[in-house]
Chains A and B, each alone.
Chain A
Amino acid sequence: MSDRIVGVLLALFAGWYGWEAGSYSVGFGDPMGPALFPEALAPPIGLLGLYLALRPDPEPEWSSGRYLLAQLATVAALVAYALLLQPLGFILATLLLVACLTAMLGARLPQALMGGAATSLGFFALFDWFLGIPLPPGLAFGG
């Protein structure tokens, strides 16, 4: 069933992709233009999608129960991290993220907090000081 759904989605995507590509054009001089290459990609993607819909592989075993919940929570934490990195600053945001993930993977809370602190401070030192890649300081250093 999964493959059938994916196949149909791919076919729909291919349709949209090819249609959108058709709107790109230039006035003169480029015989092929910016549209042709993506337009040429769309039909095979669509056909392969339909093929998958008609000849699916056996159903994969999907995640379920608390493992699915854990995965969803992880994704939510990652999204939150991406949004909070700049406002909160690297050290605080990373401490929270790593502590959450570590706790979720089965560590005790104090251990998780320790792990978070070590990871965030270590990487801050490595990137900001050693590699010269500025990381957002945020709240940790008073903005």
Chain B
Amino acid sequence: MDTLFSLAHGFTVATQPVNLLVAFIGCFVGTVIGALPGIGPVNGIAILIPLAFSLDLSPVSALILLTSVYYGSMFGGRIASILLNIPGDSSAVVTCIDGFPMAKKGLAADALAISAISSFAGGTLATIGLTVLAPTLAMAAIHFGPREYFALYVMAIVIVGGIATGNPAKTLVAGLLGLAIGTVGIDPATGIPRFTFGAYELYEGIDFVIVAIGLFAISEFLVYIEQRRSGPVEQVPVGRRSTALRRLTYPATSLRAGLLGFVIGVLPGAGATLASFMGYALEKRVSDKDGTFGKGDPRGVAAPEAADNAAAGGSLVPMLTLGVPGSGTTAIMLGMLVTLNVQPGPLLFQQQPEIVWGLVAALYVSNVILLVLNIPLVGLFAKLLTVPPHYLMPGVVTVSFLGVYSVNQNSFDLLMMVGFGVFGYLLRKLGIPLVPVVLGIILGTPMEQSLRRAMAASGGDVWTLLESPLALALHAVTACMILVAIVREARRRHGEAAAARGA
């Protein structure tokens, strides 16, 4: 009962007019900033901190401002994914798979609305989960050790294979190339530089933003030039939602993906990216009866969005109960708490419950405002696509350069982005999917590190990986997935001997 009372108090604070106004500004600015690829919540927060100080906001209001910027920019990232096929941050990669095809079909506004609604559903689910289960879940999450994490990452890599359509060998190669690209840079466990060729620029590894923007945005431009060969590229009618809002909610999808996302979010380090594509893969397995996923299926947008937002909520569990950041989001929030002179740690719940529940309430209020703010605006965002392509496409290229330049401010990264653009173009022509490459890069380092930790703990005994029941169970599920995939593939080959290759 204490919890509910504290939460109610948190909501009272969060819904004061000044805080609602602050949340509104934060959501709007965040959305605009997030729509620029490569520019994320960190930049948004950096801009608004001076504002928070000059308006002399109370700590709680400041916290609300920053959380609303965070949520806003997360939604903004979806705008670039859906309209332009540029994943603005790592958890938006999966949204491209079905979001961009929807936009191509003229359903951009629908896709954006689905994204907003499912995000809201995921966020709601996470807030409930957080309120009811936080302490229990935190204790469960600490049982996840290196072996269990490794099993989870192996499963994730295998799931990547299930996401993409087309030649499985090519999907696998794409994922492996991603893992290989991820090994570039200084090895965290020993400090040895790998595959850097002595270039300092590569010591930090290749930033996700550079790869994603290059592979997606620049290759898109090259593809566009070529498409004009088959006559002028027709413009799709956009601007209006074509469906009633009611029919853009996918309750079953959101519930499934949201629950999964929340559980993954609770594990420190696993994060929203993993959640978003596990959610997508689950939905594809459950619902993709007619092979519409990857070609603009609305559920393919709803699932990762719900999972992603639920994970963002779930990752608050380790942060609030243990003081350990569970994701990029919470890392930023932890920093904010320190700036506000709040010491995060295992005692935060007992010592400063008003901060904790204020934060939870603030997150939820941001969720609501984002929905209210953006549903009317989706048509406006979608109108971006009515800009004539010969202005829009060069503008997109400029934004891409800017997004990459903002990471490290040097030319080396820009050249690397162009290189990845050409690489991405070639991969697309060859029918090698791009998403597994990006996910391989994201998952490679944590996967290797968890394996190395498990090996260090066991003194090099490989069997240790199977000696934990939880890890064993995860590996068993992975093995089943591989088996099913092989059987399906064999049947498919058998059934359609002369299969035409997909696009």
Q: Do chains A and B touch in the complex (CB under 8 A)?
A: yes
A67 / chain B contacts, CB cutoff of 8 Å: 225-226, 228-229
A60 close to B431 (CB less than 8 A)? yes
Query: A14 to B418, alpha carbons, bound, how many Å?
Result: 23
Nearest A residue (CB) for B461: A31
Residue-by-residue, is B381-413 near A (CB-CB < 8 Å gives 1, otherwise 0)?
Answer: 000000001110111011101100110010100
How many A-B residue pairs have C-beta atoms within 8 angstroms? Tell me.
170
A123 close to B190 (CB less than 8 A)? no
Within A13-71, which residues are at the interface with B (CB < 8 Å)? 17, 20-21, 24, 26, 29-34, 37-38, 41, 44-45, 48-49, 51-52, 55, 57-58, 60, 62-63, 67, 70-71
A32-B456, A37-B451 known; A74 and B173 CB under 8 Å?
A: no
A85 close to B405 (CB less than 8 A)? yes
A51-B169, A60-B430, A85-B411 known; A78 and B397 CB under 8 Å?
A: yes
Minimum C-beta distance from B224 to chain A (A)? 8
A78 close to B183 (CB less than 8 A)? no
B192 at the interface (CB under 8 A from A): yes
Nearest A residue (CB) for B176: A45
Minimum C-beta distance from B413 to chain A (A)? 9
Minimum C-beta distance from A15 to chain B (A)? 13
A70-B225, A83-B411 known; A38 and B394 CB under 8 Å?
A: no
A85 close to B173 (CB less than 8 A)? no
B406 close to A133 (CB less than 8 A)? yes
A10 at the interface (CB under 8 A from B): yes
Nearest A residue (CB) for B429: A60
A17 / chain B contacts, CB cutoff of 8 Å: 180, 195
A123 close to B194 (CB less than 8 A)? no
Minimum C-beta distance from B479 to chain A (A)? 17
A30-B189, A51-B169 known; A75 and B418 CB under 8 Å?
A: yes
Number of residues from A at the complex interface, CB < 8 A: 64
Interface 9-mer from B39-47, B77-85, B266-274, B365-373: B39-47
Query: A107 to B39, alpha carbons, bound, how many Å?
Result: 30
Within A98-143, which residues are at the interface with B (CB < 8 Å)? 98, 101-102, 104-107, 115-116, 119-120, 123, 126-127, 130-135
B317 at the interface (CB under 8 A from A): no
A57 close to B431 (CB less than 8 A)? yes
Chief secondary structure at chain A's binding surface: helix
Residue-by-residue, is B409-436 near A (CB-CB < 8 Å gives 1, otherwise 0)?
Answer: 1010011011001100100011100000
Minimum C-beta distance from B410 to chain A (A)? 8
Nearest A residue (CB) for B457: A31
B430 close to A3 (CB less than 8 A)? yes
B187 at the interface (CB under 8 A from A): yes
Given B180, B389, B414, B500, which contacts A45 in the complex, CB threshold below 8 Å? Answer: B180
B33 / chain A contacts, CB cutoff of 8 Å: 131
Chief secondary structure at chain B's binding surface: helix
B458 / chain A contacts, CB cutoff of 8 Å: 31
Query: A134 to B169, alpha carbons, bound, how many Å?
Result: 44
A104 / chain B contacts, CB cutoff of 8 Å: 225
Given A30, A45, A71, which contacts B177 in the complex, CB threshold below 8 Å? Answer: A45
A32 close to B190 (CB less than 8 A)? no
B8 at the interface (CB under 8 A from A): no
B222 close to A71 (CB less than 8 A)? yes
B222 / chain A contacts, CB cutoff of 8 Å: 71, 74-75
Given B46, B389, B451, which contacts A32 in the complex, CB threshold below 8 Å? Answer: B451
A75 close to B176 (CB less than 8 A)? no
Most buried by A among B177, B189, B398, B501: B398
Query: A41 to B47, alpha carbons, bound, how many Å?
Result: 42
B190 close to A30 (CB less than 8 A)? yes
Query: A49 to B430, alpha carbons, bound, how many Å?
Result: 13
B189 / chain A contacts, CB cutoff of 8 Å: 30, 34
A92 at the interface (CB under 8 A from B): no
Most buried by A among B397, B429, B500: B397
Nearest A residue (CB) for B427: A6
B172 close to A44 (CB less than 8 A)? yes
B190 close to A79 (CB less than 8 A)? no
A45-B176, A78-B218, A107-B390 known; A34 and B192 CB under 8 Å?
A: yes
Nearest A residue (CB) for B229: A67
Nearest A residue (CB) for B172: A48
Most buried by B among A32, A44, A55, A135: A32
B391 / chain A contacts, CB cutoff of 8 Å: 102, 107, 115, 119
Minimum C-beta distance from B398 to chain A (A)? 6
Within B9-46, which residues are at the interface with A (CB < 8 Å)? 33, 36, 39, 43, 46
* 18 A-B pairs in the complex with CB atoms less than 8 angstroms apart: A3-B430, A29-B456, A30-B190, A34-B189, A38-B195, A60-B429, A74-B221, A75-B222, A97-B394, A98-B394, A119-B394, A120-B398, A127-B402, A130-B47, A131-B43, A131-B47, A133-B39, A133-B43
Q: Which residues of A contact B (CB under 8 A)?
A: 2-3, 6, 10, 17, 20-21, 24, 26, 29-34, 37-38, 41, 44-45, 48-49, 51-52, 55, 57-58, 60, 62-63, 67, 70-71, 74-75, 78-79, 81-83, 85-86, 94, 97-98, 101-102, 104-107, 115-116, 119-120, 123, 126-127, 130-135
Known: A106-B390, A123-B399, A132-B46. 18 other contacts (CB 8 A): A6-B430, A26-B192, A30-B189, A31-B456, A31-B460, A38-B195, A45-B176, A82-B414, A82-B417, A83-B411, A85-B405, A97-B394, A98-B394, A102-B391, A105-B225, A119-B391, A131-B33, A133-B43
